[in-house]
Structures are given as C-alpha cells and as structure tokens.
Chain A
Amino acid sequence: MKAFTYERAASPAKAAEAAVANPGAKFIAGGTNLLDLMKLQIETPTHLIDVNRLGLDEIAATRDGGLRIGALVRNTDLAAHKAVRRDYGVLSRALLSGASGQLRNKATTAGNLLQRTRCPYFYDTTKPCNKRKPGTGCAALNGFNRNMAIMGTSADCIATHPSDMAVAMRLLDATVETITSDGTKRAIPMADFHRLPGNTPDIETALAPGEFITSVVLPKPLGGTHIYRKVRDRTSYAFAVLSVAAVFDKQGETRFAFGGLAHKPWRVEAADALGSRGAAAVAEAALAGAKTTEQNAFKIDLTQRTLAAVFAQKEA
C-alpha cells in the first residue's frame, strides 16, 4: 500500500470536485475491494476521498413507482429492505448470494457495481495483464482461464465482472445516477454502464474521471416470479462460476441476465423474447458468438443447464 492522503467529502459535488482536483484520487466507500487492491499495489491512489457520511444511505420511492437507492446503502440493508424483498426479489437474492455477511455489511451499492475482476493474473503484479498495466499482454488468454468470460471478450482481456448485484440491476434495467465536479448530473442505464474490454480493458465503465455515483434507480416493479440462480464451486462465499437472473412476469414476458459470462452483466434482448421456447432456445440466443477456451467451454453447457434449473424452479 502506498502512502496516501485522506479527506472526508462534504457533499457529493464536493467529492467529485476533490477527485478532479487530485488526479490520483479514489473514492472509498466500504473499502472491501479497494483496500485489498491497495495492499497489493494494484490500485495506488495518492488520495482517498471518504464518501461514507454524505447521507447517501437512504432508499426512497420514486414518483413513477420505482426505488432510488443511495450509493452508500449497504448490501445487507438493500437486500433486507421491505420493498426490495417484495418487489425486486431477484435483487435481494442476488445480493444475499454474494460474499459473506460481514462483507455485505460493509459493501455499498456503488462500490459493488465498481468492484474489479477476480482474474488471478490481475492480482499478480509479476504477471502481464492489460487491465492492470495496459500493453503488457493478457496472461489469462493462454493460462488458467476456467473462470473467464466467453461472451464479448477481446484478444486483450477475457475477464469477467464478478458482481452478483450488478446482474440483477441489469435485469431490472436500473439506472446509475451520477454527479461531476461541475455539478452536472446524469443517468446512465445499466446496459451502458459497464463496458466490454475491447482494447482498453482498463476502462471498465462509462464513468468519466472523478464522476461520482449518487444513487441507483430501479424502475417500477415488474411483478411476476423473480429468480436468481448462482452456480459456484462451494456452497457459500464463492464468486459465481455462472449465474442467471430471471423474471417471468404475469403477462408471460421474460427476461434473463447472466453473471460469469462477460466483462459486464450479460443480457441479450433476443434471448429475453424466447422465454416461452424454453431453456435451450434462450441459451442459444444468449450465447450467440461465444468464444470459449478449452477450460471454460463447459460454461456453454452450464448456461443451458442453469437456465433449465431456472425454468424448473419457476414451475415448482
């Protein structure tokens, strides 16, 4: 960990301002991801802006029947919130399948969206990694890549986004609300929030430098049956090998989003439309253009199988 200076921001706009004024700055929320990365010098901020006491820990109804979730709402509180459990079951379940109780108590909504990949080479500063150090190469491409992405990959990076919560947010078509140093606010749809790696895997989101997340907004409830099925190598406290978030609404509309497949929560409109045709059809559409390695080719079969499990669960 490199020595850094520290300040406590006074307001969201001030936080964004401070970030622009200190080019090496980072916001710190729960710190459960950032601090680990700092200890390994994968992140080396020179200045930390503590955003924990800005009153962004509220969950409130929006005028059009949705929910506005403050950026600093803890994962535990979000999962337990009455309206979330009632109307956005898939989000509550996704949150509770992630990390551990202690981590969820610290982890925040914005921090969760921005957590970085668990690619093991990203964590090893002695190894090439375009995401950590652009231009050095991708060690995972021909290395240990069982857990890596099969959708939307590039020759420069095949990492996945590890969040469970983000998959549910994507499924629900949430929007991320931000503020910049000049006070400009904008709303970024989840579909556009995370990026595919392309040839700049170090740039992971649509956020501009210093842009600060104030909240995440959920549109009005979809109703229907909400399912989050996380497949993992042990029963708890493990990142997803693969996950499927699904909503089957009362009108027979379906939508599906996937974790563990790509550099972002993976959702394909063509697949959403095929819910009535069953798991195989959805999988085929969702996985069009998949690029696998010898080690992660099983994710094709696993996606279809997990979708089959989701369909079976819906019937049960």
Chain B
Amino acid sequence: MKFDQPATLNPIDRARVVGKPVDRIDGPLKVAGAAPYAYERHDVAPNPAYGWMIGSAIAKGTINSIDTTEAEAAPGVLAVLTHANAGALGKGNMNTARLLGGPDIQHYDQAVALVVAETFEQARDAAKLVRVDYTQGQGKFDLLVGVKTAQPPKSVQGSPADTSVGDFDGAFKSAAVKVDQTYTTPDQSHAMMEPHATTAAWAGDKLTVWTSNQMVTWAVKEMAKTLKIAPENVQVVSPYIGGGFGSKLFLRADALLAALGARAVGRPVKVALARPQIPNNTTHRPATIQRLRIGATKDGVIQAIGHDVWAGDLPGGDVESAGLQTRLLYAGKNRKTTHRLAELDLPEGNAMRAPGEAVGLLALEVAMDELAEACGVDPVELRIKNDIQYDPEAGPKRPFSSRKLIECLQQGAERFGWSKRNPKPGQVREGDFLIGMGVAAAFRNNMAMPSGARVAIDGKGRITVSTDMTDIGTGTYTIIAQTAAELLGVNVSDVTVKLGDSSFPASAGSGGQWGANSSTAGVYATCMTLRGMLAQKAGFNAEDALFEDGMIKAAGKAIPLRDAVGREGISVDDKIEFGDLTERYAQATFGAHFCEVAVDRFTGEVHVRRMGGAFAAGRILNPKTARSQVIGAMTMGVGAALMEELVVDKRFGYFVNHDMAEYHVPVHADIPEQDVLFLDELDDKSSPMKAKGVGELGICGAGAAVANAIYNATGVRLRDYPMTLDKVIGGLAKA
C-alpha cells in the first residue's frame, strides 16, 4: 500500500482494540525469564564457545605487533583473532570506525582482538595475556580546540547544515529584547540495561546471528558488507532486546566478532561486551556547544532566532543535529541555523535517545526561559505567543499535519498548577529547600519508514503476524497484535506476533520514534490486503465486509474466519510505503513539560519533586505502553539535566567514568510522581494509523524544564549540563 493521500475514515477508527491500554503480551515471558535474549540462545546454538573482546589501550596510533602465543597456550583457549588473521574485512556504511581495529587505531577501546575459549572466565583471563605493542599517535580530543577548525558537515540528517530565512543579523541587532547565550551539553552514554550481545553460528557458508539489534534489515546488509559475503547468507535474529536507545541501531563489534570467532572455531560463539567496555567501544551522544540568539519585541514576539551548533566526531562522522528543532518550533521572520563538525579522535558519536532534539531543546528551551524573563512574559504564554501552524522556513505552503503545542501548554499548565508559580526566582522556601517550577516545550520530528509484514490465518482461525520489526522494550509486540486484532475483528489473544527475524518481511525497525507508527501501518496494509482476499473467498464485496467477533459479516450473513480461510489457511505479505506527505506537510510531535524541583539551600542538591507532561502525538495506539515510553524518556531528561556525563580525559582521549557506578543515570529515588496526559489527536497525514511517534518525544524538553525549575527555585542560571551540585552552589548565597 502506498500512503500518499491523507487517510479518510478507515477500520482503525473503530478503535475497539487499538487505543486501549492492553497489557504487554510479552510481559509474562519477560518476568518469568522465558524470553530468550541474545546471549542465552543455548536453545538454538548449543555448546557455544565464549568470546572476550580486547579493546585498544590507546586512542590513536598503530599496532606494531600483537603477541598471542601466551594467550593461545592458556587453558581452554580455542582461538585469538586479530586484524592479522581475521581475513579481509569490509566496513559497513553506518559505522564510522572499523569494528575490528588494527593496524590503525581510531579510538580508545576499539576492538583489537577476540579471545575465544571454552568458558567465559578462560577467555577473559587469557585476554590479559595478549600483548599488543602500540605506537601512540597524536589525537584530537578537545572539542573546545576542535571548534576552531570545525567545518560544515555535508548534511544534517539529510538536510542542509545551515539554513537562513530573512535577515537574521539585522533583525537580531535591532530587536528590543535580546538573548544571546551559549549552552553546553556533554558526551552521554545510552546506558541501556542489556549490553551489546550476540551468539553466532555458521552452517556452511550461511551465518546466523542471534543478536540484540534495533534494525534487523540494516544489520543483515552491514554484516554482509563487512564480511564480504552475500546478504542472502546472513540471518539476523533479534526477538527480544533489553533496551537500545540508539546504541543498537547499527552492527557493532559484538556481532562481527562473534561471527568471526564462530567461523574460526567451527562452532557457535557468543560475545557480550562488558559494561566498562561499552562507553568507549560503542557509540555515544557527542557533546555540543550551542549558541542561541533570540531577538523579540518588548512583549515577546520573536523577530529573529538563530541557533549555532558545534559538535565533534571521528573523521567521516556526523554532527549532532541539535539545531533542527529550531527550524520548526517557533515563529520569527528572520532565522538562521548552522551546524559545524569538529574532527575528534574520541569514540564514535552517533544516535542516542532522540538525537538532535534531546540536546537541542536543552539549549533552546532554556533560552526561551531567559527570553520570557527578559520580556516579563510568562514562559507558557511566551511559547503560545510564538506558535506557528506552518513550517516557518518554508512558509504557509507547508503546514504542519497537526500541531497542538498550544493545547499541550495550556492543558499541561492547568493540570500541573502552573499558576501557583512565583515568576520571581528564589522566592519560595520550604524548610531548607528552595522550590521552583519550570516549563519547556517538547518537540520531536515524525518520520515514517516503509514497513512490511506477513499475516497468516491458520485453519483454526488463529492469526500470526511476522515481521522483522523489533521490540526494544517499547511494546511493539502488543501494538502489532492490537492492530491485527482490530482489522481482523478478533481478540488480542487470538494473535501471535513474531518479530525480529530477517527471514520475515523487512520492517521499519525501531529508531527515531518511527517504529510504532510505521510498523503498525505495515501490518495495517497487509491486513487490508488479507481482508480483501477473505471477503472474496467468502463471496462478499470487500468494501461491505465487516470484520468482528471472529467473523466476516456482510449482506446479513456472518462467516467465521476459519471457515473463510479453509483448512490450509492463508498467508499474505504486504507493506506500507510512504509518498511525499512528509514533504508536503511538516510532521512532528508536540508536548509541554512541567517540573517542580526542591534545591537544598546548603548543598545545592537538586531533587525533582513533580513532573507533568501533556503530549500530542497522533493516535495513541496503547496508552499504557505509550505512557511507559514517555515516563522513561522524562527520566532520561532528568538524567541529562542533573547527572549524565561521560567525562573526557583529554590527555588519553577516552571517557574516564565508563561504568555504571561512575556514569550516573537516575535511580528510583531521583524520580518522583510523573503525570502524563495524551491529547486526543488523529493525524490523517502521518499514516493510515493516524498515529505518530511518541517514545522520544518524552525526553525532548524534559531536561530544560528541570533546568528552568532550578533557576526559578534559586535564581542560579546554569547553561552547562549536567547541573551538578558543585555548579549549583557556585551561584547560591552563602549558607
């Protein structure tokens, strides 16, 4: 099905199952420990050997030699693989650095060897006996130095590095009120629960990898390219994933090394990265420096808005697209955005938890708070004042498909009790706590990707949906079952969903919050084809047929599905493809975050006391799983605001605090009540599901609301994330 015209009334609108808070259908498997994860596939890959990755001890330079003799002689060791004996390898298109390094080293902890042994402990132990002799090179590790020679990247997520409309410089200069501030965000790590892990096995020249990967189709292509084998010879299986947040979008070292190891020892090999290896071996979100300039009239109408972004990455890498939302979020006739990319030899920067907007809004939405104060306008009101219903760069010819930012701000403010906020900072005290409230807009682009599915009904009327779509903890199993149940008129319990296997039809995969809308649209397309076939079999006109109660009904007759399909059942593959509606209409998701903090007036410790968010993201396919997505994302927003930072050691060129004891993410005690409101919205331009993405929307702006609340509580304006207590006390009055 090609989706190139806005949807009209369609069977999803019955909303009998879709839109209901159905419990996760994979929940019982997970809590019982029965859902098999990549490192535990003894059921399908018996008698595996264990691989342990060795990472480079230097950040830049070359390997002179690797002495593996001692390791090879260690108990249980089956093989030691390095660049010297792994065979010729290609490089995938999506990883910047090679997944097996040597002789050139591109970053610290880049894989340089894999030790394969009978047991995990033997492999890890023998790894210490591998002697790698390096010549250290001169690396570039300091973003502040790198910005001096930073260049415009070729593109920023497919759009130009720079945009400009009207006369920004002139309008900014002559604006009555100006904000001109620079904000910084640090390198951050995904910190998902399940580490990168793969079990690999070969049968002849056919490779199967059971892995933890968000994008099965990409993984097949990239693995084939890296191993220089045909994609037909690669099967990727990734049915359960313990979180990814972008870290598992791409083929990574665990998968490649497991494949190489299994080939070398002629039996299944499994490789999991140890937690302390993850931050430096894999990808991370790059640090940014962002300058925001906003010029407005005295009463807060934006005249000029400019956002300049600097970030670093390895040569050939990408820039963090932190300026993108500023192209779309607020009105203003004169505007400009720029992105500059500095070459750094730190580990690879790449997508993490709403790349672009998550950190872009940390800057933009604090700048808006500063503007509100400078104009004396309420921050909610300021955002409403500068709302715009079309793409402000393209003009009225490109309206938003739907945009309920104002409603989110108003309803969110109402629920949160925003009117109780004292606009003057540092005024509210409860005991030894300084209390403040903050607001920020939420914005995340809506992307749509082609997505396929197979839907089968067996002779008993049981429905099976299979697609290589993944469930990264988001609830995909459940919403796909709901979609099929809705369209075929059955209960969720009548549907089996099989995911994450490259032998199934190719899907959108999970990333960029496009997964839910795109993959259910693919299931929609396939179910609609199936409905046509079933109606025909039943002798009905497809348009007249009603699917409900496990039956096809038309012309006063009702035929059970199982009778219509016959004993042998029926199966159909189809897919959704998207036309140019995303070009004709700006498509995005919106929301408003509210936060109340209590700051210890002595120690500067910040406690988030309440969070509230109102979101408009098209049809909410399952309010329960969607809410879980959003509160998880809000939690990540707290992390970004208060604690998450990979600390760069600029001498050695690596992230120093590379384990979960020292890289802090919020714990339960950091997260208070989180209230989530979804506004009723159907977006007929996004897909036949009329849904949009929602998972990443929740992080976008959340951290800025925390930052603005800290300012309201204390009068201390911080622009350097994370806002740790040492920075807070730097601005507090003497205790």
Contact = CB atoms under 8 A, between A and B. Distances in A.
Most chain A beta-carbon contacts within 10 A, residue among B125, B128, B603: B603
B151 to A, nearest CB: 29
A298 B276 contact: no
Contact of A309 (B75, B602, B658, B664): B602
A143 B656 contact: yes
Interface stretch (B241-249, B477-485, B722-730): B722-730
Given A144-B649, A309-B735, A302 B656 contact: no
A312 B433 CA distance: 12
B692 to A, nearest CB: 33
A233 B432 contact: no
Contacts of A146: 647, 726
Contact of A233 (B658, B668, B725): B725
A164 B655 CA distance: 27
Contacts of B607: 235
Contacts of A126: 57-58
Given A302-B725, A302-B729, A309-B432, A144 B659 contact: no
Given A120-B656, A302-B729, A237 B667 contact: yes
B124 interface: yes
B670 interface: yes
Given A233-B724, A235-B669, A309-B432, A298 B730 contact: yes
B643 interface: yes
A121 B662 CA distance: 12
B716 to A, nearest CB: 14
Contacts of A120: 656-658, 662
A143 B657 CA distance: 12
Given A306-B602, A309-B432, A143 B735 contact: no
A231 interface: yes
B725 A127 contact: no
Contacts of B659: 123
Contact of A298 (B57, B432, B729): B729
Interface string A39-51: 1110000000000
A105 interface: no
Contact of B602 (A41, A123, A139, A305): A305
Interface in A99-139: 118, 120-121, 123-124, 126-127, 139
Contacts of A41: 128
A238 B735 CA distance: 24
Contacts of A63: none
A1 B670 CA distance: 34
A279 interface: yes
A231 B600 CA distance: 10
Interface string A303-316: 01110110010001
Given A234-B642, A235-B670, A237-B667, A1 B121 contact: yes
Contacts of A232: 605
A13 interface: no
Interface in B580-611: 600, 602-605, 607
A155 B726 CA distance: 24
Interface in B625-684: 642-643, 647, 649, 651-652, 656-659, 661-662, 664, 666-670
B382 to A, nearest CB: 32
A121 B656 contact: yes
B664 A234 contact: yes
B108 to A, nearest CB: 8
Contact of B276 (A3, A40, A142, A239): A40
Contacts of B651: 142-143
Contacts of B602: 305-306, 308-309, 312
Contacts of A234: 642-643, 664, 666-667, 669-670
Contacts of B125: 1-3
A301 interface: yes
A276 interface: no
A279 B649 contact: no
A190 to B, nearest CB: 25
Given A233-B724, A304-B735, A309 B668 contact: no
A2 B607 CA distance: 43
A247 interface: no
B124 A236 contact: no
Contact of B657 (A39, A144, A305): A144
A176 interface: no
Most chain B beta-carbon contacts within 10 A, residue among A124, A234, A304, A305: A234
Contact of B124 (A1, A139, A238): A1
A312 B431 CA distance: 10
A306 B432 CA distance: 12
Given A235-B669, A298-B729, A309 B662 contact: no
A121 B652 CA distance: 11
Contacts of B666: 234
A287 interface: no
Interface in B46-82: 57-58, 75
A241 B725 contact: yes
A3 B126 CA distance: 10
Interface in A74-106: none
Interface string A222-248: 000000000111111111010000000
A12 to B, nearest CB: 30
A123 B279 CA distance: 15
A290 to B, nearest CB: 15
Nearest to A239: B661
Contacts of B730: 298
Given A3-B125, A144-B647, A298-B726, A305 B603 contact: yes
A231 B735 CA distance: 15
A124 B124 CA distance: 15
A231 B656 contact: no
Contacts of A304: 735
A2 B121 CA distance: 8
Interface in A281-302: 298, 301-302
Contacts of B669: 234-237
A238 B331 CA distance: 43
Contacts of A306: 602-603
A302 B732 CA distance: 11
A298 to B, nearest CB: 4
A308 B603 CA distance: 9
A48 to B, nearest CB: 14
A107 to B, nearest CB: 14
A304 B658 CA distance: 31
Interface in A1-53: 1-3, 39-41
B514 to A, nearest CB: 32
Contacts of B276: 40, 123
Pairs of residues from A and B, 10 with the lowest C-beta to C-beta distance, nearest first = A309-B602, A235-B669, A236-B669, A126-B57, A298-B726, A308-B735, A305-B735, A144-B656, A305-B602, A120-B656
20 contacts: A1-B121, A2-B125, A120-B662, A121-B656, A139-B652, A142-B651, A143-B652, A144-B649, A231-B603, A233-B725, A234-B666, A236-B668, A236-B670, A238-B664, A239-B661, A241-B726, A298-B730, A301-B729, A302-B725, A309-B600
Given A231-B603, A235-B669, A239-B661, 12 more contacts: A118-B661, A120-B658, A143-B649, A233-B642, A235-B670, A236-B669, A241-B725, A241-B726, A298-B729, A298-B730, A302-B604, A305-B602
